[in-house]
């Protein structure tokens, strides 16, 4: 028969082991639940981006058609409708970018990528407001290639592995200010897609 002291020691060890297992299971479950929630938000953000990207091209094609067919009925009304859709799409993209800045620890390369794409996205609203066609005359136009390239990179960012650490408020604010800065206005087109480089066909 075991001494009382040894029985007590074994009982205490068993209790601590059980508590450790329970705590470990609890923390694992919480971690998994939090990761799963962030993954769902990530997929929702990607879906939003794809829809807004598609909306850009839908409006662009309709705007081109309107430019070519000025005699269609209700042209001015259609013009206003497309401008409103372009503004709404741009607003949706802006909301997505503040979400990204708040939920991801963005590096300089990612901030530049988002800032450049945001500026390119504004081309649609600006040309409709100016009653001009988007000047992307062919599939090898530097702006067109840059826009496509940036879109693909953002898509990869949205599907990339999440870091469990969120940015703090200061970092998120700085990142979002950089993304929405006017510094990209005159330099959103990527150097690799300037005319001289395009002729060499980087692909």
CA angle (139 as vertex; 135, 141 as ends), nearest 5? 50
- For residues 47 and 137, the model is more confident at 47
Record the tokens describing residue 150, joined without a space.
């940036």
Give the 3-state secondary structure of residue 136: coil
- The 3 state secondary structure assigned to 22-86 is HHHHHHHHHHHHHHHHHHHHHHHHHHHHHHHHHHHHHHHHHHHHHHHCCCCCCHHHHHHHHHHHH
* pLDDT over 90 percentage in the chain: 49
Give 34-92 pLDDT, tens digit per residue: 557 767 878 888 999 999 999 999 999 999 888 776 666 677 888 899 999 999 999 99
Domain chopping of the chain, boundaries: 38-198
| DSSP secondary structure letter of residue 163 | P
Whole-number pLDDT of residue 48: 94
């Amino acid at each position: 028969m075991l001494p009382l002291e040894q029985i007590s020691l074994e009982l205490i060890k068993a209790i601590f082991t059980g508590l450790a297992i329970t705590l470990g299971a609890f923390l694992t479950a919480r971690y998994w639940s939090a990761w799963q929630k962030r993954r769902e938000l990530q997929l929702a953000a990607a879906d939003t981006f794809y829809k807004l990207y598609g909306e850009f091209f839908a409006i662009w094609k309709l705007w081109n058609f309107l430019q070519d067919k000025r005699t269609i009925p209700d042209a001015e009304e259609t013009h206003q409708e497309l401008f409103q859709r372009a503004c709404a799409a741009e607003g949706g993209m802006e909301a997505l970018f503040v979400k990204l800045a708040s939920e991801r620890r963005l590096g300089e390369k990612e901030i530049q990528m988002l800032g450049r794409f945001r500026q390119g996205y504004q081309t649609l609203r600006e040309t409709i407001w100016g009653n001009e066609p988007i000047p992307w005359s062919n599939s090898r136009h530097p702006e067109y290639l840059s826009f496509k390239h940036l879109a693909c990179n953002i898509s990869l960012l949205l599907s990339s592995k999440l870091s469990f650490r969120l940015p703090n408020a200061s970092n998120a604010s700085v990142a979002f200010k950089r993304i929405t800065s006017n510094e990209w206005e005159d330099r959103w087109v990527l150097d690799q897609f300037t005319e001289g480089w395009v002729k060499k066909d980087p692909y």
